[in-house]
Chains A and B, each alone.
Chain A
């Protein structure tokens, strides 16, 4: 596979690798993909609750170079945007920016999904705080903040 310079740049110098405190009420976490499929993306946003602006974004990705580059680019784009603006980021924007080949388009779809999952998680958290019902119960799913039951 021949990669574009932009993919190589994000792969070699990924922006915003890391984690934000997932229990912080201002942090939204999205985890998409599955290890069996060869790609898992974790994307987190830290939102200023007053302005609705994303002040920080971090990612960790298990996947090919294009998946790493897509999530790195996504975090770069997220910072400084409002939630509404962030929701409008499309996978095709990522495809164009990174010149992803057709076979790698699903890596950009994953990044778009991760953005949406992170924002949805943040918004769910806010609702729960507003309605005062504390922590959400139910089955842990990878798209939510409480990833899974710890193994004993």
Chain B
């Protein structure tokens, strides 16, 4: 077993060796510019790009023509949200999103708010899920866009995007979905789910960093976007810039593998994740899972270990790469906004750890992590004043703390 063990797959995934192998010839052999029309280097590169487009289109059930390549999902989210808003500002100036979206969505919406658009920020329940009825109730006469993520990057909860998509279709409102975290594990069909725009990132699905895509619907309705980047008019004018051929080949290969292996991968990861959860919750007391277990990515486990602070846990399990919602681990010294939105008490947000299993996670690794976690939490609880007070029967919520 190789240390440290990587369990932070929501941050990024390792590249699948098959993806790397597919990419290699694009650096020294097939290095042409896909926009070069006059020689075989260009034609070869273009063929590779078109193959990548087809592979991604097959994964989400759309036409290859509807795929726009970007530098990653941050760009895809920006392009979808600002692109729709700026193109359809005459039609309406209201946007609906949720408070647990990725920053790329939240901050794009915030910028539009500054420009005079109105944004409804939907709350989520304790389960971390957006309710379709809340979306419906938030719709106004001039709503032009609903943007809701498929799977949350911290707690792995899965929103009812199919339901929301159908609602938007019925109301004639564009629906954008950030599917970054879900694509490797959940089936996504943009036709069936009524999705008009879909953000994709390669490095969360065993592909390389710095390449992503945006699905942009061409029929029923045709979606037009105001581009953010101007230039040579690549990608139907929606995204200028020389295409990242190695990245596109990698993203395409990653999508092809996901399509072939998603189901078995997901089943295997679900069993491993449940094993980890089982061990943590039976061997330790006061462990709570944050967000719905039922509507959740198979590879995600986000748990709070009461009475111990996240960063001190990370220090104790330094052979394991995971992340925490604790303020002490963040540059802003603010605990996770996602956990806060769930109504998780700040104190439990500080005590949270996010485990992200991935395609190459083994059972041996899971057991190693569980052993280490149990030992570390027990040790830290022995030095926790909160645990001691709780054991003495003191209600921590009633204590008048000296805040600083």
Contact = CB atoms under 8 A, between A and B. Distances in A.
B312 interface: yes
A117 B399 CA distance: 16
A34 B311 contact: no
Interface residues of B, number: 38
B383 A17 contact: yes
Interface stretch (B1-9, B87-95, B277-285, B327-335): B327-335
Contacts of B327: 37-38
Contacts of A139: 400
B402 A41 contact: no
B401 to A, nearest CB: 4
Interface residues of A, number: 43
Interface in A109-151: 109-110, 113, 117, 139-143, 147-151
Interface in B345-404: 345-347, 350, 382-386, 388-389, 392-396, 398-404
A4 interface: no
B170 interface: no
A32 B404 contact: yes
Contact of A31 (B329, B392, B395, B402): B402
Contacts of B402: 31-34, 113, 117, 141-143
Given A62-B385, A143-B402, A35 B350 contact: yes
Contacts of B309: 38-39, 62-64, 67
B114 to A, nearest CB: 29
Contact of B383 (A14, A39, A140): A14
B260 interface: no
Contact of A19 (B388, B399, B404): B388
Interface string B299-325: 000000001111110011000000000
Contacts of A11: 312, 315-316
B308 A62 contact: yes
B326 interface: yes
A147 B394 contact: yes
B386 A148 contact: no
Given A11-B315, A61-B384, A65-B312, A149 B331 contact: no
B331 A148 contact: no
A5 to B, nearest CB: 13
A103 B333 CA distance: 9
20 contacts: A11-B315, A31-B402, A38-B309, A38-B327, A38-B347, A40-B401, A61-B385, A62-B307, A62-B308, A62-B309, A62-B385, A64-B309, A65-B312, A103-B331, A117-B402, A140-B399, A141-B402, A142-B400, A149-B398, A150-B395
The 10 closest A-B pairs by CB, nearest first: A151-B395, A34-B401, A35-B347, A42-B385, A38-B350, A36-B346, A64-B311, A64-B328, A60-B385, A65-B315
Interface of B: 307-312, 315-316, 326-329, 331, 333, 335, 345-347, 350, 382-386, 388-389, 392-396, 398-404
